[in-house]
Chains A and B, each alone.
Chain A
Amino acid sequence: MNYQLNAGKRSKWRHIVQNPFLYVMAVPGLLFFLVFSYLPIYGIMIAFKDYDFAKGITGSDWVGFRNFDYFFTSDDFWIILRNTLMLNVLFIVFTTAAAVLIALMFNEIRNKYFKRISQSLIFLPYFMSWIVIGMIVQSLFGGEEPMINVWLHNIGMEPVNWMFESKLWPYILTVIRVWQGAGYLSIIFLASITGIPEDLYEAARIDGASKLQIVTRITLPLLVPTIMIMTLLAVGKIFNGDFAMIYAIIGDNSMLYPTTDVIDTFVFRSMRQLHDFGMSSAVGLFQSIMGLIFVIAANWVTRRVSKESALF
Chain B
Amino acid sequence: MRLKRWFGTATTAVLVSSLVLAGCGGNAKNEGNATNSPSSTDSAAPAAKDIVTLKAYFPGDKPAGFDTVLQAVNDKLKADNIGAALNVNFMPWSDYGNAVSVKMSAGEEFDMYLDAPWISMNQMIESKSLMELDAAVAARPELKASIPEEMWEYNKFGGKIMGVPLGTTQGQLYGLLIRKDLREKYGLPELKTLGDLEKFLYAVKENEKDVKPFVINGIKADKLPFILSDSANLAKDEVLEIGVNMFSYSIKDKKVIGQWVSPTIADAYERVTKYYKDGIISKNIAQEQNAETLFKQGKYAATYYAADGVEGLKYSEMLKDGSDKLEIFIPNGEQAKPYTAYQQWNFLCIPTTSKHSDTVMDVMNWLSIKENHDLMEYGIQGKDWEPVGDSSYKVLSSYTFPGYVLTWRPTLNRTPDNMMPDDKKWFDFSTKTSNFTLSPIAGFNFNAEKVKTEYAKITPLHDSIFLPLSQGLIPAEEGKKTMEDKMASLGGQKVVAEIQAQIDAVTAGK
Measured CB to CB, the residues of A under 8 A from B are: 25-26, 28-29, 31-32, 35-36, 52-56, 66, 69-70, 73-76, 138, 142-144, 163-164, 191, 194-195, 251-255, 257, 266, 269-276, 279
Question: Which of B219, B453, B473, B490 has its CB near the most chain A CB atoms (within 10 A)?
Answer: B453
CA distance A52 to B129 in the complex (A): 12
Interface-facing stretch out of B149-157, B405-413, B464-472: B464-472
B486 touches A273 (CB 8 A): no
CA distance A279 to B3 in the complex (A): 44
A254 touches B286 (CB 8 A): yes
* Besides A194-B3, A273-B455, A273-B459, 19 other A-B contacts (C-beta < 8 A): A25-B11, A29-B14, A31-B18, A36-B21, A53-B102, A54-B126, A55-B127, A70-B453, A74-B490, A142-B287, A143-B284, A163-B286, A191-B3, A252-B218, A252-B463, A255-B286, A274-B452, A274-B456, A279-B453
B128 within 8 A of A: yes
Q: A142-B287, A274-B452, A279-B452 are in contact. Are A54 and B129 (CB under 8 A)?
A: yes
A266 touches B467 (CB 8 A): no
Chain B residues with Cβ below 8 Å from A142 are 284, 287
- Beta-carbon nearest neighbor of B119 in chain A: A275
B218 touches A28 (CB 8 A): no
CA distance A195 to B286 in the complex (A): 51
Query: Which residues from 280 to 339 on chain B have a C-beta closer than 8 Å to any C-beta of chain A?
Result: 282-284, 286-287, 289
Chain A residues with Cβ below 8 Å from B455 are 273-274
B123 within 8 A of A: yes
B94 within 8 A of A: no
B459 touches A28 (CB 8 A): no
- Beta-carbon nearest neighbor of A36 in chain B: B21
Complex partner residue of A254 from B3, B129, B468, CB under 8 angstroms = B468
Q: A53-B105, A54-B105, A276-B456 are in contact. Are A252 and B219 (CB under 8 A)?
A: yes
A53 touches B219 (CB 8 A): no
Query: Which residues from 436 to 469 on chain B have a C-beta closer than 8 Å to any C-beta of chain A?
Result: 448, 452-457, 459-460, 462-465, 467-468
CA distance A55 to B126 in the complex (A): 11
Minimal beta-carbon separation of B382 from chain A (angstroms)? 40
Measured CB to CB, the residues of B under 8 A from A are: 2-3, 6, 8, 11, 14-15, 17-19, 21-22, 97, 101-102, 104-105, 120, 123-124, 126-129, 212, 218-219, 245, 282-284, 286-287, 289, 448, 452-457, 459-460, 462-465, 467-468, 473, 486, 489-490
A274 touches B127 (CB 8 A): no
A275 touches B460 (CB 8 A): no
A32 touches B463 (CB 8 A): no
- Beta-carbon nearest neighbor of B485 in chain A: A75
A-B contact pairs, 21 of them (CB 8 A): A28-B11, A32-B17, A32-B18, A52-B123, A52-B126, A53-B123, A54-B104, A54-B128, A54-B129, A70-B457, A73-B453, A144-B212, A163-B287, A254-B463, A254-B465, A255-B286, A255-B473, A269-B460, A270-B456, A270-B459, A271-B459
CA distance A36 to B448 in the complex (A): 32
Minimal beta-carbon separation of A259 from chain B (angstroms)? 13
A253 touches B123 (CB 8 A): no
CA distance A24 to B473 in the complex (A): 60
Chain A residues with Cβ below 8 Å from B452 are 70, 274, 276, 279
Minimal beta-carbon separation of A161 from chain B (angstroms)? 8
CA distance A138 to B284 in the complex (A): 11
Minimal beta-carbon separation of A236 from chain B (angstroms)? 19
B457 touches A73 (CB 8 A): yes
A191 touches B459 (CB 8 A): no
Minimal beta-carbon separation of A34 from chain B (angstroms)? 10
CA distance A230 to B413 in the complex (A): 60
CA distance A271 to B18 in the complex (A): 30
Chain B residues with Cβ below 8 Å from A66 are 453
A53 touches B101 (CB 8 A): yes
Chain B residues with Cβ below 8 Å from A70 are 452-454, 456-457
**3 shortest interchain CB distances as A-B pairs:** A54-B127, A253-B287, A32-B18
CA distance A142 to B123 in the complex (A): 40
Minimal beta-carbon separation of B367 from chain A (angstroms)? 29
